A and B are shown apart, each in its own frame.
Chain A
């Protein structure tokens, strides 16, 4: 059982380039989210999805797009990379409802924009 898989693990981009961070989960979780982690700022929510075809903005959505065409996949697109987007990105997934609600995180993508 792979859990939550993110690719790539490391990426260097030039300012203005675009790219897609991939996230896939094999646990049939309804909820998926993208967070960025910066020193001293914890994890901040970028975008989230409560199911296929449904996405919404989090705390820091500017400069990022998402889509959720399947339950398993939730890619994060950087439209035009900026140095301020240098960060570690984590994807997470969880079941909906009151039962098993633990959010499982991927291994992270360390992105550097130069």
Chain B
């Protein structure tokens, strides 16, 4: 089955700086790669996703890049703000009926 590794497990950045979270996946058949944000005590919520026919996708301050050859994808957050503090999860799937998640990155924005 699919295996997703996520790094780093914790990340602290100064407000206004950029944050990068990286994930690798094992199943070359995976074609859907979402990123979820989970605030303390809340449910995970989708912030951005990418399919394998696209190399990069951007939504305001958030971008995701995908390297199918190397089987890794990354989340980039620019101009970080205090409200970006949360746990971020990457995931991978073939189709979207079941997601395999990474172990999460706790991002802390330092004011």
Contact = CB atoms under 8 A, between A and B. Distances in A.
Q: Give the size range of A's interface with the partner.
A: 20 to 34
B96 interface: yes
B104 A42 contact: yes
B96 A103 contact: yes
A31 B97 contact: yes
Interface in A34-58: 35, 40-45, 48, 50, 58
Contact size range, B: 20 to 34
20 contacts: A31-B96, A33-B99, A40-B9, A40-B103, A40-B104, A42-B89, A43-B44, A43-B89, A43-B101, A44-B101, A48-B97, A58-B98, A59-B100, A90-B43, A90-B44, A92-B99, A96-B97, A102-B34, A103-B46, A103-B99
Given A43-B99, A45-B99, 17 more contacts: A31-B96, A31-B98, A33-B99, A42-B89, A42-B101, A42-B102, A42-B104, A48-B97, A59-B1, A90-B43, A101-B49, A101-B96, A102-B49, A103-B46, A105-B43, A107-B42, A108-B43
